[in-house]
Amino acid sequence: MEKRRLECPALPAGWKKEEVIRKSGLSAGKSDVYYYSPNGKKFRSKPQLARYLGNSVDLNSFDFRTGKMMPSKLQKNKQRLRNDPLNQNKSKPDLNTTLPIRQTASIFKQPVTKITNHPSNKVKSDPQRVIEQPRQLFWEKRLEGLSASDVTEQVLKPMELPKGLQGVGPRNNEETLLAAIASALHTSSAPITGQLSAAVEKNPSVWLNTFQPLCKAFLVTDEDIRKQEDKVQNVRRRLEEALMADILARDSEASQNSDIYMDSRDD
């Protein structure tokens, strides 16, 4: 049978949808739906698609079979705790480092009300390309309750921030401050300065610069940098020592084994 990969209107440009009819077996006549990303990767389920797209896209109302957004699909909130014992041994740790962004700016085309032109109406034409996604105020708050864990899923103690860093915004606390700064450092290559505007303390909702973390402006001195360099050097030295010790331990273990081997040959 001939296969057709069709451009999918609900998905960003380049995505294709394919429906394959089963032609034999008990399930003959049923069909399977697949999607292909612009780079050609095949997707055969909604969870798989969601995993790939990360937090950047809301698929709650996306109907995989038809390929359309179905706003009627109201789903109950599945609030799952990170350390749910039922989940603990099942799923691999989530390695997705995509940060949550405003979902109303989704790259998926949501149904919209069409506004036609009118003499008294000036309709803005769409810019060729949206350069920057709008950012939600205080979006870092959504990172609350997350924590790093090691390979055994043992939760790690959060790192300590230097004294003198002060958060801004509603209900600000150490946890959000740390998340905000860490996020800023890994999402932006621009310098992280904190909120430079003093007005932000009076009214954060108005004056917040969303490209800077939720903290007051801070200053990093040469002294700070030197201290940090010392720290890194120290840690590297300890790592080197540990690796050396490990190699030596393996060596002596290996020679012991060969001793045993020699003994048994003497028998």
Partner DNA sequence: TTACTCGGCAG
Partner DNA sequence: CTGCCGAGTAA
CA distance 165 to 162: 6
Q: Judging by DSSP bridges, how do beta strands 62-63 and 31-36 pair with one another?
A: unpaired
Task: Supply the minimum distance, in Å, between the C-beta of residue 151 and DNA.
Answer: 21
Q: Which stretch binds DNA (CB under 7 A): 28-36, 73-81, 121-129, 154-162?
A: 28-36
Nearest CA to 73 out of 63, 65, 81, 83 is that of 63
Interacting residue with DNA among 5, 7, 20, 170 (CB under 7 A): 20
Helix%, strand%, coil% for the chain, nearest 5:
35, 10, 55
CB of 85 to DNA, least distance (A): 16
Question: Mask 48-87, x = binds DNA (CB under 7 A)?
Answer: x---------------xx----------------------
* Minimum separation from the CB atom of position 56 to DNA (A): 18
> Which of 4, 5, 6, 32 lies at the binding interface for DNA (CB under 7 A)?
32
Residue position matching structure tokens 């109303």: 104
Candidates 27-35, 83-91, 146-154, 207-215 — which segment interacts with DNA by CB under 7 A?
Answer: 27-35
Q: Is 44 in the site for DNA (CB under 7 A)?
A: yes
Question: Is residue 30 a contact residue for DNA (CB under 7 A)?
Answer: yes
d(CA 28, CA 48): 24
Asked if residues 8 and 33 have their Cβ atoms less than 8 Å apart, the reply is no
Handedness of CA 196, 197, 199, 205 (dihedral sign): negative
- Our finding on whether 119 is near DNA (CB under 7 A) is no
Among 9, 14, 38, 47, binds DNA (CB under 7 A): 47
β-bridge partners, 195 = 216
Alpha carbon of 236 to those of 148, 225, 239: distances in Å? 22, 16, 5
Q: Is 27 in the site for DNA (CB under 7 A)?
A: yes
- The closest of 60, 37, 38, 56 to 47, measured between CA atoms, is 60
**Residue among 45, 110, 233, 252 that touches DNA (CB under 7 A):** 45
Q: Does 199 bind DNA (CB under 7 A)?
A: no
Q: How far is the CB of 110 from DNA (least distance, A)?
A: 20
Closest CA to 141 of 87, 88, 178, 91: 178
Burial class (CB in 10 A: 0-12, 13-18, 19+), 106: middle
Nearest-approach distance from CB 189 to DNA, in angstroms: 34
Binding part of the chain for DNA, among 39-47, 117-125, 170-178, 225-233 by CB under 7 A, reads: 39-47
Residues at the interface with DNA (CB under 7 A): 20, 22-28, 30, 32, 42, 44-48, 64-65
